[in-house]
C-alpha cells in the first residue's frame, strides 16, 4: 500500500460504512408493525417494503462493479450518502407505500455503495489473515449497530416517536462519515492500481479459482437470505406461537446482534491461531445447530437462548467467506470484492419477498424454517468451495516441489 494512504483513518471510515449499513438493515423486524400502521397496509404486504431496501442495495453493488474504475473512494462515498439522505428525507414525508418503496430503495442504494467502498478499503489495505481480522472487525461494528439502532427504534416507537426515527439517527452517522472523509487519504482503486498489486494471494489455478468464488458467492447469498428471513419473522413467530406482546418479542433482534459482537471478537482471536477456513466450517455447523434449536424451541425462553447462540456463532461467516473468496485472485480487485458483496445482497433482496409468500401460506414459523434451510446451504457451499480450493492447490504444490528438486540438482 502506498505510504501516502492514511491507513488508520481510512480503516475507521471503512468501519463507519458498516455502522451505516447495519443501522438500516437490522431494524426491519422492529419497525414492521409500526410501518404497517403508518402505511395502512397488512404486515406481509408491508414486509415486502424491505425488499426495496435490499433491492436498492443490490443496484448499488452492481454500479460498484464499474464505478471504482472512474471515481475515487471519496467521491463514491459522497455519491452514496447523498442518495441515502434523499431517501430518508422522502421516507419522512410520504404516506404512500409505493413512494415509501422508492425512498427506502434510495436508502439501500446509498448504504450498499458506501459498504462496497468500505470493503474495498479493507481489501486494498490488508492481506491474508490481517484482512480476515480486519473484516471481522468491521462486522463487530455492524453487529453493534444491529444492537443499538433496533433498540433505539423500538424505544422511539414505544415513546410515540415516528417509526423512521432509527433511520434518521443512522443518517446522522453517515453525515459525520462524509465530513471525516474530506480529510482522509484513501487507497487508489483504478485499473492501474489493481494491476500493481503483488500476485502473492493467488492460491488456485484460474478455473478452480472461478469455481471457488462462485461457491462462496452462493454461500453468501444463502447466508443473507436466511439471516433476513430470521430477523424479519422471529418477532412475529414469538408473538404468534408463544403469545408474546410486540414489546416482548422485539428484543429478539437485539438477542441476535448483541452476542454476535462477542462471537466476532472470538472469531478474530481464533483466526490468529487457527486457519480461517476451519473457523468457517465450525461456525457454519454451529449456526445450523442453533437454528435447528430455534425451530424446535418449546417456549419463548428456549427460543431466545437459541437466538443468542445463533448470533454468537453465525455472523463471522459473512466476512470470513468474503475474505477467503477475495484471496482466490491476486490483488483482490474491487470487482471481486464487490461481486461477493453483490451475491450476498441478492440473497438479502429476495429474503423478504420469498419469506413473506411462505409465511402467508404456512405462518411466521415457516420463516424460521426457511432460515434453517438457507444456512444448511451455506454450510454445503463453504465445504464444496474449500474442497475445490484444496484439490486445486495439491497439484500446484506437487509441481512446485518437483521444480524445486530439479533446481537443486541443476
Q: Residue 370 domain-assigned?
A: yes
- The answer to whether residue 221 is domain-embedded is yes
Distances (CA, A) of 345 to 110, 115, 349, 366, 375: 13, 11, 6, 22, 15
pLDDT digits (tens, 9 = 90+) for 8-27: 899 899 999 999 998 998 88
Whether residue 3 is predicted with pLDDT greater than 50 in this model: the reply is: no
CATH of the domain at 148: 1.20.1250.20
Lowest mean pLDDT among 34-38, 145-149, 264-268, 373-377: 145-149
The pLDDT of residue 198: 41
Q: Is residue 231 within 8 Å of residue 350, measured between CB atoms?
A: no
**401: in domain:** no
Above pLDDT 90, what percent of the chain? 48
- Residue-wise pLDDT for 333-369, tens only, equals 788 888 998 899 888 878 888 998 999 888 889 999 9
Distances from the Cα of 214 to the Cα of 169, 218, 246, 322, angstroms: 36, 6, 40, 12
User: Is 403 inside any structural domain?
Assistant: no
- CA 60 to CA 85: how far, in whole Å? 15
Residue 402 lies in a domain: no
Asked if residue 131 belongs to a domain, the reply is: yes
Is residue 391 a part of any domain in this protein? yes
Q: What is the mean pLDDT of the chain?
A: 86
Helices 365-409, 206-242: inter-axial angle, 10-degree rounding: 160
Tens of pLDDT, residues 128-150 = 778 888 888 887 888 788 888 98
Does the residue 154 lie in any domain? yes
Residue closest to 87 by CA, chosen among 106, 100, 73: 106
Q: Which domain holds residue 45?
A: 7-186+197-395
Whole-model pTM: value is 0.75
Q: Which of 121-125, 142-146, 202-206, 359-363 has the lowest mean pLDDT?
A: 202-206
Tally of domains within the chain = 1
Residues 6+ apart with CB under 8 A from 324: 132, 216, 276, 277, 280, 385
Amino acid at each position: 500500500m502506498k505510504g501516502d494512504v492514511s491507513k488508520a483513518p481510512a480503516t475507521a471510515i471503512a468501519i463507519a460504512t458498516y455502522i451505516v449499513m447495519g443501522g438500516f438493515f437490522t431494524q426491519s423486524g422492529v419497525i414492521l408493525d409500526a410501518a404497517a400502521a403508518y402505511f395502512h397496509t397488512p404486515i406481509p404486504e408491508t414486509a415486502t417494503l424491505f425488499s426495496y431496501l435490499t433491492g436498492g442495495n443490490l443496484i448499488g453493488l452492481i454500479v460498484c462493479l464499474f464505478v471504482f474504475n472512474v471515481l475515487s473512494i471519496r467521491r463514491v462515498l459522497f455519491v452514496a450518502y447523498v442518495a441515502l439522505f434523499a431517501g430518508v428525507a422522502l421516507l419522512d414525508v410520504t404516506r404512500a407505500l409505493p413512494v415509501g418503496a422508492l425512498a427506502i430503495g434510495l436508502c439501500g442504494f446509498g448504504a450498499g455503495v458506501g459498504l462496497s467502498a468500505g470493503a474495498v478499503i479493507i481489501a486494498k489495505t490488508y492481506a491474508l489473515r490481517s484482512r480476515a481480522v480486519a473484516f471481522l472487525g468491521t462486522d463487530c461494528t455492524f453487529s453493534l449497530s444491529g444492537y443499538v439502532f433496533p433498540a433505539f427504534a423500538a424505544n422511539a416507537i414505544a415513546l410515540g416517536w415516528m417509526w423512521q426515527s432509527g433511520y434518521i439517527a443512522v443518517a446522522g452517522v453517515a453525515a459525520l462519515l462524509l465530513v471525516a472523509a474530506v480529510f482522509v487519504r484513501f487507497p487508489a482503486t483504478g485499473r492501474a492500481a489493481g494491476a500493481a498489486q503483488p500476485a502473492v494471494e493467488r492460491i488456485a489455478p484460474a478455473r478452480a479459482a472461478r469455481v471457488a468464488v462462485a461457491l462462496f458467492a452462493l454461500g453468501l447469498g444463502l447466508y443473507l437470505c436466511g439471516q433476513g428471513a430470521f430477523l424479519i419473522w422471529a418477532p412475529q413467530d414469538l408473538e404468534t406461537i408463544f403469545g408474546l406482546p410486540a414489546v416482548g418479542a422485539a428484543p429478539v433482534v437485539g438477542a441476535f446482534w448483541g452476542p454476535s459482537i462477542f462471537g466476532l471478537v472470538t472469531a478474530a482471536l481464533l483466526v490468529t491461531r487457527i486457519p480461517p477456513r476451519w473457523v468457517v466450517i465450525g461456525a457454519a455447523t454451529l449456526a445450523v445447530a442453533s437454528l435447528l434449536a430455534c425451530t424446535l424451541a418449546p417456549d419463548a425462553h428456549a427460543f431466545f437462548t437459541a437466538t443468542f447462540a445463533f448470533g454468537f456463532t453465525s455472523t463471522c461467516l459473512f466476512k470470513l467467506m468474503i475474505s477467503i473468496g477475495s484471496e482466490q485472485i491476486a490483488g483482490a480487485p474491487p470487482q471481486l470484492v464487490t461481486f461477493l458483496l453483490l451475491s450476498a445482497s441478492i440473497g438479502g433482496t429476495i429474503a423478504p419477498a420469498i419469506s413473506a409468500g411462505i409465511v402467508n401460506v404456512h405462518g411466521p414459523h415457516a420463516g424460521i424454517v426457511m432460515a434453517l434451510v438457507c444456512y444448511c446451504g451455506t454450510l454445503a457451499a463453504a465445504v464444496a468451495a474449500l474442497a475445490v480450493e484444496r484439490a486445486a492447490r495439491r497439484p500446484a504444490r506437487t509441481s512446485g516441489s518437483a521444480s524445486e528438486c530439479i533446481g537443486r540438482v541443476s
